[in-house]
Amino acid sequence: MKKYSNTRATLAIAVASFRSIMRSPSAVVFSLAFPLIFIIVFANIGGGAISVDVGVAKTCDTSRADSLYQAIKQISIIHLEKNQSAAEMAQNLKKGDLDAIMDIQKHSTPPYYTLDIKYTTASAQKDGILSSLLDGMFFQINSKGNTVRQPIAELKEATVQGRAYKYIDFILPGMLGFSLLSSGVFGTAFVFLSLRLTLVIKRFFATPVKRYSIVIGEGLARLVFSWIGALFIITVGYYFFGFTLVHGLTTVVNMLILSAFGLIIFMGFGFIISGIAKNESTIPPLSNIVTLPQFLLSGTFFATTAFPSWLRGLADILPLTYLNHAMRQVAFEGAGLGGVTHDLLILGIWFIIIYAVAVKTFKWE
């Protein structure tokens, strides 16, 4: 008699699960269609059509041709508003009719310019873009125009190098994170609960298959599916919306590796929910408790920098925040996996916590 192969059993489950996922409308809609729709909608708002309205304070130094003011004026998506009174500007800023008010002061000693910029919570999303733009620009100015002084250490991280930060560069990694989160949490929870309730797992146990084969087989199928989804989203983003891939294919591979880390952690939430849920109708509310806060707070659509500090504190706990951050570092800043070790470390801590809970709560039958 041939020796029993656990690998073969695992792969058989992976193939079955993959086929099943591909034929499940909800999985395809959540992982491919939704992120794509979000990207199309937001990238079209974010490209060309978007303008960040910045009020120029009366005290602002607009004089010289080579000044900071002129450089900001060159940025196409920034629209400068000079004809309002200070009171009007303050009012419009509150309402979000202006996205920011800036005031540049010139000095004879370094720093030669100081830029005071006032953002508004009424326009947090655009301010995220503006803040990124300015960050990049300041770095450029500090490193190019200043041969005497060393560039400031904090700014060194933002190696923007004059590339335009498009909204697609922000939204696409966020959408990848969202896709992984929903596939990992909803998909895993639904599949394992339904396999348990319909006694599919029990029937599996009547064969010589090992428990770990079932978990690994399912995970493998979901990973391959998520990778296909990620490649699809990246391809569409790259060719149709000009998504930036700093190191080309290497960046894509790094993003896929990050996707795998993210998916494994999010699947852990799915395992926990499938264990707690009594029936299929309790899965959506439980899954939403996990996914919605991360969806909204983890910098999927707009930068968390716009949040008040208490909300940022909350965002700084969530795993998707770190996955999104790592994705953006890798995709746009060109960081390798070694450059996002801080994010990976926190994701690692999440992994340990989640799976410790999952082992306790998961039910086989």
Partner 1 sequence: MAKQPIITVKNLVKNYGDFEAVKGISFEVYDGEIFGLLGPNGAGKTTTLEVIETLREKTSGEVTVDGLSIDHDTDKIKQRIGVQLQAAGYYPNLNLSELIKLFCGLYGIDKTPAEMLGKVALTDKAKAKYKDLSGGQKQRFSIATTLINNPKIIFLDEPTTGLDPQARRNLWDLIREIRDHGTTVVITTHYMDEAEELCDRVAFVDGGHIVGIDTPNHFIDELVASGFERKKEVKLANLEDVFITLTGKEWREG
Q: Which residues would be at the binding site for partner 1 (CB under 8 A)?
A: 1-2, 4-5, 8-9, 11-13, 15-17, 19-20, 23-24, 194-195, 198-200, 202-209
Which of 199/257 has CB closer to partner 1? 199
- HEC string for 167-204: HHHHHHHHHHHHHHHHHHHHHHHHHHHHHHHCCHHHHH
Nearest-angstrom CA–CA distance, 190 and 277: 10
Whether the Cβ atoms of residue 315 and residue 322 lie closer than 8 Å to each other: no
- Beta carbon of residue 7, minimum distance to partner 1 (angstroms, whole number): 10
Nearest-angstrom CA–CA distance, 226 and 288: 20
Regarding beta strands 113-119 and 78-81, do their DSSP bridges make them parallel or antiparallel, or are they unpaired?
unpaired
Which of 274/324 has CB closer to partner 1? 274
- Beta carbon of residue 11, minimum distance to partner 1 (angstroms, whole number): 7
Which of 5/121 has CB closer to partner 1? 5
- Beta carbon of residue 196, minimum distance to partner 1 (angstroms, whole number): 11
Which of 147/207 has CB closer to partner 1? 207
Whether the Cβ atoms of residue 320 and residue 298 lie closer than 8 Å to each other: yes
- Beta carbon of residue 203, minimum distance to partner 1 (angstroms, whole number): 5
- Beta carbon of residue 364, minimum distance to partner 1 (angstroms, whole number): 11
Torsion of CA 88, 91, 92, 95, to 10 degrees: -160
Does residue 100 sit in helix, strand or coil? strand
Which of 23/360 has CB closer to partner 1? 23
Does residue 219 sit in helix, strand or coil? helix
Other Cβ atoms closer than 10 A to 55: 25
Query: Which residue in the block uniquely carries the two structure tokens 């799915």?
Result: 270
Strand (E) or helix (H) holding 18: helix 6-22
- Beta carbon of residue 208, minimum distance to partner 1 (angstroms, whole number): 5
Which of 164/199 has CB closer to partner 1? 199
Which of 7/83 has CB closer to partner 1? 7
- Beta carbon of residue 315, minimum distance to partner 1 (angstroms, whole number): 36
